[in-house]
Amino acid sequence: MKPLTIAIDGPAASGKSTLGYHLAQHLDYLYLDTGVLYRAVTWAALHQAIPIDDEAAVTRLAETAPIAVLPPTVADGRQATIRCEDADITWDIRSPEVNAAVSPVSAYPGVRAALTQRMRAMAAQGRIVMVGRDIGTVVLPDADLKFYVVASDEARAQRRHAEMQAQGKAVTYEEVLANLRLRDAIDSSRAAAPLKAADDAVIFDTTRFTIEEMFGEAERLVRSRENGR
């Protein structure tokens, strides 16, 4: 069978990571949620007290930060283990502080260029499910399959709020909803690689369809493409 590169894009908390992770697990493909790289750079900037609005300094950090994405090392619900500066930052990169700063960081062209190089190197061998916001349009425009996952603002906020409550974080649903909408606005209007569906992407709406339904259709498309059909 032909080894594939699979790109999955969509806004925050749409269900794209859930679809991508389970698809990768079932296919025995490498799973990469590229958002963790931007979050890790953001965490490193905050950790080192680098001003988020210092584009040059944040870009240098994206080029040099010792960020590693590994298979899960702790059975606590994580889909991967993220390390930076010899620290396990898997859950730290999901903090409200990182949530508030990651969109400006991810909008910097230099940051995107540095991390895109890392992503393409990881995808070069095929057999990968890569999830993000510009994978099908910019990072892997020639990906064998592209999916774009959407959901209503309210459904996405409910999911993210439940996740954060389960992690013991004190944040209201209204704060989560406002943050998601702000991030959507920034991601969709940025000059560098704005959030949008690739012209040849399959659109999945998790407000109307279950993960199981989407997973079944995604797997069918993957198997067909692997066999050259």
pLDDT computed for residue 1 by the predictor: 64
Give the contacts of 103 (CB within 8 A, at least 6 positions apart). Answer: 182, 183, 186, 187
Most confident of 22-26, 103-107, 142-146, 214-218: 142-146
Is-contact 131 8, C-beta < 8 A?
A: yes
Domains of the chain by start residue, with CATH: 5-215 (3.40.50.300)
pTM: 0.81
HEC string of the chain equals: CCCCEEEEECCCCCCHHHHHHHHHHHHCCEEEECHHHHHHHHHHHHHCCCCCCCHHHHHHHHHHCCEEEECCCCCCCCCCEEEECCEECCCHHHCHHHHHHHHHHHHCHHHHHHHHHHHHHHHCCCCEEEEECCHHHHHCCCCCEEEEEECCHHHHHHHHHHHHHHCCCCCCHHHHHHHHHHHHHHHHHCCCCCCCCCCCCEEEECCCCCHHHHHHHHHHHHHHHHCCC
Mean pLDDT score of the chain: 91
Is-contact 78 27, C-beta < 8 A?
A: no
d(CA 182, CA 144): 32
pLDDT interval class at 212 (50, 70, 90):
confident
Which residue matches tokens 């790109």?
7
Long-range CB contacts for residues 164-168, cutoff 8 Å, separation at least 24: 164/94, 167/91, 167/94
pLDDT computed for residue 122 by the predictor: 87
Pair of tokens at residue 198: 């690739």
pLDDT in tens, 143-183: 999 999 999 999 999 989 998 899 888 899 999 999 999 98
pLDDT interval class at 40 (50, 70, 90):
very high
d(CA 111, CA 38): 8
What is the C-alpha R_g of the chain? Answer: 17
Least confident range from 151-155, 189-193, 200-204: namely: 189-193
Please name every residue paired with 8 in a beta bridge, in sequence order, or none if there are none. 131, 147
Is-contact 197 9, C-beta < 8 A?
A: yes
